[in-house]
Structure 1
Amino acid sequence: MLARCPFPLPAARRRLPPSRFPCPIHSYRLNTISTLPLPSLASCSWPPSSLSSSRAFTAIASTAAAMASVAALVFVLFSFAGGVVFCNQTYIVYMDPTLRPAVHPTHHAWYAAHLQSLAIDPGRHLLYAYSDVLHGFAAALLPHHIPVLSSSPAILHIQPDPVLHLHTTRTPQFLGLASDAASALPRPIDAVEAASRDVFIAVLDTGVWPEAPSFSVPAGLPEVPSRWRGACEAGVDFSPSLCNRKLVGARSFARGFRAAAAAAGDGNVKGKPKEYQSARDRDGHGTHTASTAAGSAVANASLLGYAAGTARGMATAARVAAYKVCWASSCFGSDILAGIEAAIVDGADVLSLSLGGRSAPYFHDIIAIGAFAAADRGIFVACSAGNSGPGPATLANGAPWIATVGAGTLDRDFPAYARLGNGAKYTGVSLYSGKGMRKKLIPAVYGAGSTNASKLCLEGTLNPAQVRGKLVLCDRGVSARVEKGAVVKAAGGAGMILANTASNGEELVADSHLLPAMAVGKKEGDLIRLYITTDAKPRGVLAFGGTVLGVRPSPVVAAFSSRGPNPVSPEILKPDFIGPGVNILAGWSGEVGPTGLPKDRRRTQFNIMSGTSMSCPHISGVAALLKGAHPDWSPAAIKSALMTTAYYVDNTRSPLLDAAGGSFATPFAYGAGHVDPEKALSPGLIYDIATDDYVSFLCSLNYTIPHIKAIAKRNVTCLPKLSNPGNLNYPSFSVVFEKNLRAVKYRREVTNVGPASSYEVKVTGPDDVVVTVRPTRLVFERVHQKLKYSVTFVSKKERGKSRDEAFGRITWASKQHKVQSPVAYTWKKYTWKK
């Protein structure tokens, strides 16, 4: 069924030239890699059903980019009576509140007056009126309304409503947040767990499954602090009584989604299962992220026997509130802004957003704008970096006031084994829990179809006659991993080996397949491909090894984790750090099976997923612990502590590896390193940043004053401004040697949050950069004392050398602390003068 236009089009405007009035809808994806990316198209029904059904419509859309989990630009056109009809879409309008006439008593009335000036009904078209997250509103408009609105001096900026789509038991031990049974010694992190009971984490996602055991009330958790202003909203299959002292809030926001993509007003889209019109989570993604951040301890948790143990969130005493802003895998910007605004008003201390899309200038970036408002209120914001790695400059959510989180592996694995007819044995991973294969070898096939697409095991490409009863080799890519297994099973296959290609390298992600199946890396995959395609009678069999702990090396940067350099502001090093994001066990929705496929009838209380969607809530939970321990710390201070204490070597004491190719990873992949919560409790020094500093940073990007005002919600002059965006007081350094530029100078200020100490500087880095730090010694006599230093970077790189990036580190060390900052160097094309 197609969604109808929210209002009838005026007769004079039913035939518009497509070149003048396109309807762009920017499409992004949730940062999880466990489900199949599907295109999300907004469409309208015209003419109304009362008119002749024989009048056709056409929809022209770019879906290839959506299938690749990147932004898609969708143009929706309709043919009617020989002309082209355009449906309205949602726009977000940014206003200058200082220009509100006195005749309008409220901002809401002022916004409504703007719509009335267009001869449209505000009651039907005004979706949201914002006041805390930004000054402005979201409304359903036609493209030709935009230049009319833009002519008003009170309008700062107008943009189409962007659509963002979605980017544990072992994790607490891996991060040092849960004591091993053999150790009864108290540790600093244990003392702050109770303090986090007064910290509120807002998770903006697909909602929550409130009956999940992860949201049961821990023993001894007191009543909800009176400062919390949130609520549990009643809705379809969601009673406010389902909330408790752990799950303290549940709201849903769907006006943007309904205006653009809902079917007949019931909140569903064609081809997607029915959504709950409430905060209840059908998808499972929101329940997983919320329980990762602050789930209660649950004994005997597992996914069908895998990863068995006690499941707990990062901050088990913290309170969690769910804000459902994503529907049918689509998260509209107007809904996200409404969710952030509600979380700010409700009293959240931490925001967790495991979603994002293609990078954009910050004044076009909905999450950056909402996060700025949150940071201005002292709220820590963590966002996933994205799953578009391992290519360079692929990360999203790179604004400096956001904690941008990449993904790494745990020291836990789920091994599976393939034995072939030539005697070769290969190890991969799997979460298959059904009846295993017998030890007897069976025939193996690859490309069992009439086209090359059969190598990818796409739906409809396998020939059952060639597949039935056999072990099928499938290439990874295009469709979801679990979907390939379902295709093989439907064709009669007895098992599947999923082999990586070059784009995934040696990264392995375990899945709960519906048939015996395992995943292998590219190297093993190439050998298996060679065997099956050259042996006269290829054969094979699979076996499954359960759960293994203590894997070495770990952590390893996940291949899918999006990378820097920062595509919007390259002088700010991103991501900030990595956290556990591969094969993470956490709470799950009771509505869907672990694969998320409609044909999966299994139901579990926990699921294992991978993606930066999973690493983000780890950081959110850790931030809640730090907020509880240091309630006076700003969001920037918390992020600084996590960055300067992060580690960049694995459990073999070697530099962190990159799963994409097995080589050493760089700060463009892991930022400052892998978070170490216990060390972050006492970082020694912090790099603090005030909101006004972020405004100066925006000015240094040469944005227009209206664009900066739209983000900052205040009057801005940009006098003075930072000489370079890299002069923001950030805990890391990104040095960009522009054309003809040999020297870059940055300044920093550090605040002592430890005892009186003396710090000496140490610099490591490439030979072709001379680094000078002044002074080389910082002496702090008291807590909260601030001292400044400068760093000058001079490139000695010779003309013709091919390397265009290098890395180093600046460390301030005292007898008790090491305050470490990564340095990334980038050379742009240059023609230096003699």
Structure 2
Amino acid sequence: MNAASLENIEEHGQHEQYQSTQEARKSNAYSEVPTSSRNKKSKHDHLEGMTDMLRGEMNNLANAIDRLSTMPPIPESEIWQMVQVLDLEPNLILHRRSRMLSSKLSNYLTLFLILFCVSLTPALAVKNSYIVYLGEHSHGPGVTSADLHSVVDSHHEFLGSFLGSKEKAKDAIFYSYKRHINGFAAVLEDDQVEEIQRHPSVISIFLNKARKLHTTHSWEFMMLEKNGVVHPSSLWKKARFGQDIIIANLDTGVWPESESFSDEGFGPIPSRWKGICQNDNTTAGFSCNKKLIGARYFNKGYIASGGNVSASMSTVRDYDGHGSHTLSTAAGNIVHGASVLGVANGTAKGGSPHARVAAYKVCWPPVDGAGCMDADILKAFDTAIHDGVDVISVSLGGTPSDYLEDGLAIGSFHAVKNGIVVVASAGNDGPDSGTVTNVAPWIITVAASTLDRNIQNSVQLQNGLLLKGTSLSKPTTPEENFYPLISAAQAKAANASTNDAIRCKKGTLDPKKVKGKILACLRGETALIDKGHQAALAGAVGMILCNNKTTGSEIFAIPHVLPAIHVNYTDGVQVFEYIASSKDPRAYITTPETVLRTKPAPFMASFSSTGPNSVTPQILKPDVTAPGVDIIAAYSEAANPTEEDYDKRKTSFNMISGTSMSCPHVAGVVGLLKSLHPDWSPAAIRSAIMSTARTRDNTGNPMRDETEKDKATQFNYGAGHMRPNRAMNPGLVYDLTVNDYLDFLCSLGYNQKNITKFSGTRSTYQCHKKHGLNLLDFNNPAITIPNISPSAPVTITRTLKNVGSPGVYAANVRLPRRMFSVSVEPSVLMFDHIGQEKSFKLTIEVKDAKAVKDGYVPGELLWTDRLHYVRSPIAVASLSDIKKP
């Protein structure tokens, strides 16, 4: 089969949809089918059909019963589920049902009675769970138990005034945010929401939205060590490996028995820690120690939104693996001999390996693809702030929204106000533009890129061709023993189409044709891991997974259930051509090996969400990129490496990809910077990481996207790839205070009353509308101008703070001269002491309006004293091109 044949098959299957990320979290491991396209039929479709029929027969009970008598029984659990969904009075149903005959028809008569009750009832009020946000508390840090009780009572009093009584309010409220964040989460009707929204004390009221998870050698790649040796000048050494910094993780929990969280060698828990180890579920056997110093779980928002949590699952214990992986990436211990199912042996370690960690479980089994609810996330933020953490890592996200209707944005603002740095993942919805999430300017938003390590194996064809690829599955058959090789299209079952069979879909392979052979499958339409499973079920001894033209060179190391290799499109074509041209095609698959210092690296992961920022385009997002592809870290031994029911394997470490993995890399480095520079603000740390990042790979060329064809841009990587050792001594930073963030919100049109509540009643901040902040002047380390006019220059202002030695810095701007004229005033800044601040103005004018027509034009502003290089990315677009990144 040649390339043209493959293209014909792909055109025949033109409705193929895929996700390029290896971390297709929760709905289907390594899936290439969007969640929304799975399970299209509800498990209650048959019940809905009967409901429609019964409504049509409402006036003819006898006729309805005649029809019902021919139908199969309805499970009683579904009857009572309908009672709950319709919010009917169960006692009424029970009373009527007790008088019915005990027969096959009783459930149908009950269903009829339910519908009859509905017909006599006015349209039912829809109830949903909401968050009512009231700003910040006035009680300050020295809060007493009486203060907390007063807060809860005030929430009951407030909501009771709308519901008719405090008792009804107590029933409706399932969370009171009572320490730093002021507000509550409650189950409300739509008309109640509208009435509450009009109250002057309310900043915002918004749905309890669902968010999804964004799912070693990486530290050497970022120069914290070399060949296992930590240099004295390394940030690791200077920051004492993050000793006694407390890093919190909002995720799926933690596997406490993992070596990554052992407390061997740790001293007493820092006295500032106020948290607890929530181990009220005795069946889970959960305990903390001097490394894992805190653990809590929050699921009331999940339950209020229809999620089901069994008693055995109500624990911080991680039954998923995602939370253990991300937390150990940020701050896991140094663990020698770590591997994934015997592959990729090495030493695992977190960014701040000597830090203390705290797990806040906010994510549960997904409902409609997402299981992390805003109400739970906000409660975790409020609690973590009180507990005394230094860094909060959040590898999850949802659709960007108004900042004051976004639980993660609100929670992170209150954290930053208390000096806590918040790091969040950018999302896995790339490469489409404008998909980046967690876009508030007080959050460090992290994209994902590769590192210079590959897990590599090969397939040797008997014609002498050796093709390289990747896998995490170890061959169980002898190497250099050639096996018959067959295309999945040739192995199709009698009732299957060629299009389905070549993709190794379920039920499309004939075991008689497959048994004892290596099977070549084409990528697309089904989960990558499922293709190997179907090959194994059909009796294959191995699988070659070949990319289609669309997926090109993007390959993943996956723990298949049989010996396997994943090859790129070009090599896949050669495999199919060899099969088609040979009378007896044969091959064997080698054992995966770790290959270091591969080139080029890094390049951007195609799944990594990209800018522009869809909420505030003047703020560049993501901020920075870090390793997020094939990351090895601790895992839950309650989960299997593929998350498929048929996979019975267990592993202490797993390899996963996603911005979920890049986020904790940055969180770990933030822990080091907090240890080394405890006086730096969250904004200063964000600036230090951004302004010292690199935009070139290890070949010296500009970073590229995963196709390795196109240059990556600021909307892929933000300021660039993080360089920890440079970040500890950036020279200058673009600092921000809480008032600067409030100015930012004022410039977006929020009124003074809401700003006052948001900042706290103890704040003296005033929103100056007449002389308000121009969004372009917000002191961000990056410069984004989405709407420059061809007829008028734009001038922006920035302020730099010296955090290093005295020095004289000169400015250098890089923008295409044929398009723009640029000036910086002053172009030289002299700093005499630490903490000194100086401002400058950057003016950009369009020279050739016709040339500025292809969306955003990239550039950069560099301040340097020849010792430090303070770099700010620039992105400029004309008014007519603001929708084209």
Q: How would you bin the TM-score normalised by the shorter chain?
A: 0.7 to 0.9
- The Cα offsets for residues 196-226 of structure 1, whole Å up to 9 and x where unpaired, read as 223110000000000000001252x321111
Using a 3 Å threshold, how does the CA distance of structure 1 residues 524 and 348 change in structure 2: closer, same or farther? same
1:203 pairs with one of 227, 240, 249: 249
Say whether residues 1:673 and 2:720 are aligned partners: yes
When structure 1 is superposed on structure 2, of 704-713 and 138-147 the one drifting more is 704-713
SS of the residue corresponding to residue 468 of structure 2 reads strand
TM-score calculated relative to the size of structure 1: 0.85
Quote the residue 1:719 is aligned against.
768
Say whether residues 1:383 and 2:427 are aligned partners: no
1:782 pairs with one of 810, 833, 837: 833
Q: Which has the larger radius of gyration?
A: 2
Q: Is the 8 A contact 1:406 1:669 kept in 2?
A: yes
Aligned amino acid, residue 173 of structure 1: E
Quote the residue 1:216 is aligned against.
262
CA distance in 2, matches of 1:434, 1:472: 14
TM-score calculated relative to the size of structure 2: 0.81
Quote the residue 1:62 is aligned against.
none
CA distance in 1, matches of 2:111, 2:197: 31
Q: Where do residues 90-239 of structure 1 align in structure 2 (5 Å cutoff)? A: 90-95=129-134, 106-116=150-160, 117-119=162-164, 121-132=168-179, 134-167=181-214, 169-181=216-228, 185-194=231-240, 196-219=242-265, 221-236=266-281
Say whether residues 1:291 and 2:291 are aligned partners: no
Using a 3 Å threshold, how does the CA distance of structure 1 residues 89 and 476 change in structure 2: closer, same or farther? farther
Shift of 1:405: 0.4
Quote the residue 2:539 is aligned against.
492
SS of the residue corresponding to residue 556 of structure 1 reads coil
CA distance in 2, matches of 1:141, 1:791: 50
Using a 3 Å threshold, how does the CA distance of structure 1 residues 53 and 593 change in structure 2: closer, same or farther? same
Aligned amino acid, residue 772 of structure 1: S
Quote the residue 1:483 is aligned against.
530
Say whether residues 1:685 and 2:732 are aligned partners: yes
SS of the residue corresponding to residue 243 of structure 1 reads coil
Q: Where do residues 266-665 of structure 1 align in structure 2 (5 Å cutoff)? A: 266=310, 276-329=313-366, 330-420=371-461, 424-436=465-477, 438-446=481-489, 448=492, 449-450=496-497, 452-460=499-507, 462=509, 464=511, 467-501=514-548, 504-525=551-572, 528=575, 540-665=587-712
Aligned amino acid, residue 443 of structure 1: I
Aligned amino acid, residue 285 of structure 1: H
Aligned amino acid, residue 335 of structure 2: V
Q: Is the 8 A contact 2:325 2:633 kept in 1?
A: yes
When structure 1 is superposed on structure 2, of 591-600 and 487-496 the one drifting more is 487-496
Aligned amino acid, residue 873 of structure 2: P
CA distance in 2, matches of 1:772, 1:250: 53
Quote the residue 1:21 is aligned against.
none
SS of the residue corresponding to residue 638 of structure 1 reads helix
Relative to its length, the structure with more helix (as a share) is 2
Quote the residue 1:805 is aligned against.
856
Shift of 1:717: 5.2
SS of the residue corresponding to residue 122 of structure 1 reads helix
CA distance in 2, matches of 1:609, 1:99: 43
Q: Is the 8 A contact 1:446 1:472 kept in 2?
A: no
Using a 3 Å threshold, how does the CA distance of structure 1 residues 57 and 463 change in structure 2: closer, same or farther? farther
Shift of 1:143: 2.6
- The Cα offsets for residues 127-180 of structure 1, whole Å up to 9 and x where unpaired, read as 11113453211011233322232343323321111101111x212211222343
Aligned amino acid, residue 533 of structure 2: A
- The Cα offsets for residues 661-698 of structure 1, whole Å up to 9 and x where unpaired, read as 53221111111111111111111001101111111112
Aligned amino acid, residue 668 of structure 2: G
Using a 3 Å threshold, how does the CA distance of structure 1 residues 241 and 258 change in structure 2: closer, same or farther? closer
Using a 3 Å threshold, how does the CA distance of structure 1 residues 614 and 191 change in structure 2: closer, same or farther? same
Aligned amino acid, residue 132 of structure 2: V
Say whether residues 1:47 and 2:88 are aligned partners: no
Q: Is the 8 A contact 2:340 2:651 kept in 1?
A: yes
SS of the residue corresponding to residue 210 of structure 1 reads coil
CA distance in 2, matches of 1:361, 1:744: 27
Unmatched 5+ stretches in structure 1: 1-27, 59-76, 268-274
CA distance in 2, matches of 1:86, 1:446: 54
Using a 3 Å threshold, how does the CA distance of structure 1 residues 232 and 480 change in structure 2: closer, same or farther? farther
Aligned amino acid, residue 793 of structure 2: A
SS of the residue corresponding to residue 367 of structure 1 reads helix
Aligned amino acid, residue 54 of structure 1: Y
Aligned amino acid, residue 625 of structure 1: L
Q: Is the 8 A contact 1:644 1:683 kept in 2?
A: yes
Q: Where do residues 814-829 of structure 1 align in structure 2 (5 Å cutoff)? A: 814-829=865-880
Shift of 1:829: 1.2
Quote the residue 1:13 is aligned against.
none
Aligned amino acid, residue 214 of structure 1: S
Shift of 1:599: 1.7
Using a 3 Å threshold, how does the CA distance of structure 1 residues 80 and 687 change in structure 2: closer, same or farther? farther
When structure 1 is superposed on structure 2, of 766-775 and 519-528 the one drifting more is 519-528
Using a 3 Å threshold, how does the CA distance of structure 1 residues 184 and 260 change in structure 2: closer, same or farther? closer
1:735 pairs with one of 774, 782, 785: 785
2:843 pairs with one of 772, 788, 792: 792
Q: Is the 8 A contact 1:204 1:322 kept in 2?
A: yes
Using a 3 Å threshold, how does the CA distance of structure 1 residues 803 and 180 change in structure 2: closer, same or farther? same
Using a 3 Å threshold, how does the CA distance of structure 1 residues 357 and 800 change in structure 2: closer, same or farther? same
CA distance in 2, matches of 1:354, 1:78: 44
- The Cα offsets for residues 593-642 of structure 1, whole Å up to 9 and x where unpaired, read as 21122222111111111111000001001000000000000011011111
SS of the residue corresponding to residue 816 of structure 1 reads coil
When structure 1 is superposed on structure 2, of 109-118 and 402-411 the one drifting more is 109-118
Unmatched 5+ stretches in structure 2: 1-22, 45-79, 85-89, 98-105, 140-146
Quote the residue 1:245 is aligned against.
290
When structure 1 is superposed on structure 2, of 607-616 and 453-462 the one drifting more is 453-462
SS of the residue corresponding to residue 751 of structure 1 reads strand
Using a 3 Å threshold, how does the CA distance of structure 1 residues 828 and 477 change in structure 2: closer, same or farther? farther
CA distance in 2, matches of 1:218, 1:615: 27
Shift of 1:504: 4.1
Q: Is the 8 A contact 2:429 2:607 kept in 1?
A: yes
Using a 3 Å threshold, how does the CA distance of structure 1 residues 446 and 347 change in structure 2: closer, same or farther? farther
Q: Is the 8 A contact 1:417 1:543 kept in 2?
A: yes
- The Cα offsets for residues 367-410 of structure 1, whole Å up to 9 and x where unpaired, read as 11111111111110000001111111111111111100011111
CA distance in 2, matches of 1:761, 1:331: 45
- The Cα offsets for residues 502-532 of structure 1, whole Å up to 9 and x where unpaired, read as 6644222211111122223344345556666
When structure 1 is superposed on structure 2, of 763-772 and 470-479 the one drifting more is 470-479
